[in-house]
Amino acid sequence: MIEEGSKRGKAMVEKRQLFMEMRAQNFDVIRLSTYRTACKLRFVQKRCNLHLVDVWNMIEAFRDNGLNTLDHTAEINVSRLETILSSIYYQLNKRLPTTHQINVEQSIGLLLNFMVATYDSEGHGKLTVFSMKSMLATMCGGKIVDKLRYVFSQISDSSGVMVFAKFDQFLREVLKLPTAVFEGPSFGYTEHSVRTCFPQQKKILLNTFLDVLMADPPPQCLVWLPLMHRLANVENVFHPVECSYCRSESMMGFRYRCQQCHGYQLCQSCFWRGHANGPHSNQHQMKEHSSWKSPAKKLSHAISKSLGCVPIGEPPHPVFPEQAERPQDQPHTIQPKPVANNMNDTMLMSSGAPTPTKSVLESPSRLDEEHRLIARYAARLAAEAGNSTVSDSTVSDPTQCPPTDLSFNFDANKQQRQLIAELENKNREILQEIQRLRLEHEQASQPTPEKAQHNPTLLAELRLLRHRKDELERRMSALQESRRELMVQLEGLMRLLKDEEQKQAAQTGGSPHSSPSHGAGCSMPMPIRSTSAGSTPTHTPQDCLAGVGGDVLEAFAQGVPRNLRNDLLVAADSITNTMSSLVKELHSVDDAAEEEESHMRNGGGRDAE
C-alpha cells in the first residue's frame, strides 16, 4: 500500500511538472491572447522535444504502430500510448548525433501526462485514435502546409472532398490544446467554429482548404497555429536595432515598427507586454518584421518598387492537383506487412501516378530519406522471407522439404539483420561526420585577424566593390534630385505655356481658330504623370518657375514650345532608364560583395586548416 501510494504521488508530481514550468515562464503577462497561446504551446512543444520530430517522421510512426488500420473512433489505453511515444522518441535519438541525444524517459513522461490531461480529463485512461493523431500532427515539427495536407487526408472522403463533420471533429480535438494551457475562453471550441472557417457550405478541395487555413489573417479560432510556426522561424533572427522602450541595443525574434511615430521600434518583449513611452500609444498601428534588411537593400528595393521592377511574391503554398488520387481507408484490404500498410498515412495526395507504391510526399531532409530507404529495404527483405516461408508451408508433404532450406532461411535472416545493423552504423557515422563538418564550418566562418591577413587580395577587391557601391548610391541620389528638379521645371513650363496661350487668345479676341495646335496641347494639362508611372514626384512643387531663364521665355515667344516640351519628356525618360540600370548594377554589386565575403570566409577556413 505504501509503495502504491508513493507511485501515485510521483505520477501526480510528473503530471503537474510541465504546467508548473510553464507558469514559471510568466506568459500570462502577454496582453494579446493570440501571442500568449502561441508562446505557451511553443514552450510545450520544445519542452517535450516535439519540435525535433518532423511531421513525416510522425506519420511513419503512426504507420509502424498500426494506427492507420484503426478507425478514428477507436480507443487506445495509456499503456499503448506510452509504447507509441517510446517508439517515436527512440527513433528520434537514432537520427540525432550522439552529442545531441535527448532524455527519452523524461520526454515520454512529460508528453504522456500532457496528452492525458488534455484529452482524458475525466480519467477514463483511454484516448481516441483521432485525438492522438490530431494532437501529435499539430504539435510536432515541420512545415504547416505539410501538417495541413495530412489533416486534410484524414478528414476528406475517397474523392478528395472535405467532410464537414470530420472537420468539425478535428476542431473539437485541436482546440483542446489552447484549453489545456488555460486559453479556453479565447480559443475554445464553439458550435460556430466551422462556420467561421467555411461560411459557405460548398465543395471544399485541398487547395481551398489550404487557402482558408493559411490566409492572412487565418480563421479566428486557429489564428494561433500559423503564429506558433512563425515563432519557431524567428527565434534566432537578430535585428541590430535599439528598442525605443527598454533601450536594448539588439533584438531577437520579432521586431515591431510604429506606423505613426517616426523611427519608433519595439522588441517583441516590450510590444507583447504593452509598453509604450513618449508620443507613442498602444492604439497606434504596428508593423511586424521577421527579418532585417540593410539600408542599402531597403533603398534598392524602394527604387525597384517605384520603377515597377519588384517581382510578384510567391503564393503561400504550392497548388496541388484538384483531381488527386487518394488512398482508401479500407483496413480489411490491407496486408499485414511492415510497409505495405502505409497507404493511409504516407500517401496524402498522388501526382497522378497510378502505382500505389510510389509516394509523392518526399522526405523533408536527406537524412530522413536515408532512414526511409533503409526501412523500406529492410521491409522488402522481411517480406521476401515471409513469402518464401509461406511457399514452403504450402507443400503437401512437409517431410519432403530438405533440411537445408530451413538452415538457409535462418542464414538469410541472420545476413539480413547483419546488413541492417551495418547500414544503421554507417548512417550513424554519416550523421557524426555531418555534425563535425558543421562545427568546423561555423568555426571557420568566424572572422579573425589571422584569416584576414591570409587574403589581402580578396579584402582589397571587397573594399573596391564596396567603394563602387557607395559611388553608385551617391550617383543614384544625385540623379533622383536632378529628376525631381526636372519635373518641377517641366510643370512650370506647362503652366507658362497655358498662360501664354490664354494671352494670345485674349489678344485675338478669343477666336478658337487662332492657334489650333496650342489649343490641342492645353487639353491635357498633366501628361507627365502617365509617362513614368511609379516614379513621378507626388509632392506639390514649391516654385514652379524655378530655373526658367530668358532663353526659355524667348523660345516660347517664338512659337516653338512643343519641341522644347518633347525634349524635356525625352530627358525625363532617359533619367528613368538610367535609374533602372543603376538599380540593376547596384544589385549585381551587392551580390558580388556577398559572394566575395563568402569566398573569403571559405578561403580563410581552408588556410586556417
- pLDDT, tens digit, for every residue of 124-182? 889 999 999 999 999 999 999 999 999 999 999 988 999 999 999 999 999 999 999 99
- Alpha carbon distance 277, 264 (integer Å): 10
Angle between helices 55-64 and 78-95 (to 10 degrees): 130
**CA nearest to 210, candidates 313, 130, 321, 288:** 321
pLDDT of 453 reads 53
599: helix, strand or coil:
helix
From residue 24, give the alpha-carbon distance in Å to each of 20, 28, 36, 397: 6, 10, 14, 72
CB-count burial class (<10 Å; 0-12, 13-18, 19+) for 319:
exposed
Rounded-to-5 percentages of helix, strand, coil across the chain = 65, 5, 35
In percent, how much of the chain has pLDDT > 70?
A: 63
Its pTM stands at 0.53
Which pLDDT score, from 0 to 100, does residue 50 have?
A: 95
Average pLDDT over residues 464-485: 81
Q: Which residues lie closer than 8 Å to 302 by C-beta, 6 or more apart?
A: none
Spell out the residues 6+ positions from residue 603 whose beta carbon is closer than 8 angstroms to its own.
454, 455, 458
- The answer to whether the CB of 197 falls within 8 A of the CB of 210 is no
CA distance 179 to 465: 56
For residues 511-518, average pLDDT: 43
Measure the CA–CA gap between 356 and 335, rounded to whole angstroms.
14
Residue 567 has what pLDDT? 65
pLDDT of 440: 83
Backbone angles phi and psi of 54, in degrees to 5? -75, 160
Q: What is residue 577's predicted lDDT score, i.e. its pLDDT? A: 75
- In angstroms, the CA 105 to CA 86 distance is 8
CA gap 381, 415 in Å, rounded: 10
What CA–CA distance (Å, rounded) separates 251 from 240? 7
Asked whether the bond before 217 is cis by omega within 30 degrees of 0, the reply is: yes
Instruction: Name the DSSP letter for residue 221.
Output: G
All cell numbers assigned to 440: 568546423
Integer Cα distance of 211 and 219 in angstroms: 11
CB contact set of 188 (below 8 Å; sequence gap of 6+): 175, 178, 179
Question: Which triple of cell numbers denotes residue 570?
Answer: 525625352
**Kind of pairing between the strands at 238-239 and 286-289:** unpaired
Q: CA of 272: how far to CAs of 52, 193, 223, 276, 602, in Å?
A: 27, 26, 16, 11, 40
For residues 250 and 275, give the distance between their C-alpha atoms in angstroms, rounded to a whole number. Answer: 17
Ramachandran category for residue 331: left, alpha or beta (phi over 0 → left; psi -120 to 50 → alpha): alpha
Cell numbers 552504423 correspond to what residue? 425
Task: Return the DSSP state at 321.
Answer: P
Q: Is the pLDDT of residue 284 over 80?
A: yes
Residue 237 C-beta-side C-alpha neighbours within 13 Å: 18
**Residue 362 pLDDT greater than 70, yes or no:** no
Alpha helical stretches, state H, 394-455? 403-444, 449-454
Q: What are the backbone dihedrals phi and psi of residue 257, each rounded to the nearest 5 degrees, phi first?
A: -115, 130
Q: Is the pLDDT of residue 552 over 50?
A: no
* Largest Cα span, the chain: 129
Specify the amino acid at residue 63: R
Q: Between residues 11 and 249, which one has the greater pLDDT? A: 249
